[in-house]
Amino acid sequence: MFAQIMAPAMRRDVLLAAADRSPQLLVHEEGEYAGPVAATELGIPWVTHAWGCPLRSHDDLVQLECDAEPLWQQAGLDVPPAAGLYAHGVVDPCPPFLQATRPGVARAWALRPETLQLSGRLPSTEALPEGLLAYVRFGTVPLFADAPDELSAAVEACIANGLGAVVTTSNDAVRQKLVAAHADRVAVSSFVSFPDLLPRCRVVVCHAGAGTVLAALAAGVPLVLVPRGAPSQMRMAEACEAARVAITVPPSDLVRLSAAVSMAIDEARVGRASLAAEQIHAMPSADELVPALETIANS
């Protein structure tokens, strides 16, 4: 549906932008399907920048071909395998320990995931237990990010395990409810700086979004994941479970959160998360990737 409704406008905008810039390479993110069509029309190569969760399965790519076929037909083109998503390669921030295979990908470049550096963006944690912090966040979509039941259950689970909770929510009513219930154990903010906070945490409770998961693992912090049904979140949760760096709890079974937090902070998972951090930090930086992209652009 997205490819049929939104992508034609994106294709038009890409072609208009290219008319002024004469690009030699197009880089697009993996959920944007107009880029490969426009690049084919322009006669230039394209590279997909993956989200950071494990890539889609073969069956998902076959379905994508069907969904994107009208978009290619509007340009007078036949839809290629996987809708062209990985035709020239993929830049992949997903670490090898989470990415078993890359279906349909002939060429891939690993890229170390980086977190935004905004020092000083932390709520006061002076009242929270020193060295015993948890971070709770359920993404940026308000329906899920500000869900009071899920946030309250996650905070209760952390407190039951002797942890103080730093929570991200932009809903003031939810903030007041959490602080009123546990004023000395909860700090709430609309934004936090991951590099400042995560190294101080014992566990992260989140929705299995790639950004939060990879930031936590880069800091060597195990996770409790409550995926909300998005395919990318489910793939990430399954991969983290298999790598033994996380415990997954379905949103329909929040009573399991306390036990999940207890399991996540045990010595074995902390050790696995530390190994994950080493592997992430060994991945190439963006600077190291530039020569490979220049080669494609000049080919």
pLDDT in tens, 266-279: 999 999 999 999 99
Q: What is the pLDDT of residue 119?
A: 64
pLDDT of residue 120: 59
Show the domain range for 194.
Answer: 133-281
Say yes or no: 157 and 79 in one domain. no
Query: What pLDDT score was predicted for residue 1?
Result: 42
Which residues of the chain carry a pLDDT beneath 50?
Answer: 1-5
Report the pLDDT value the prediction gives residue 100, as an integer from 0 to 100: 82
Q: Does the residue 118 lie in any domain? A: no
Q: Does some domain include residue 100?
A: yes
Same domain, yes or no: 139 and 276: yes
Q: Is residue 117 part of a domain?
A: no
| pTM higher than 0.85 | yes
Look up the CATH number of the domain holding residue 291.
3.40.50.2000
Q: What is the torsion angle, in degrees rounded to the nearest 10, for the CA atoms of residue 287, residue 199, residue 108 and residue 289?
A: 0
pLDDT of residue 121: 65
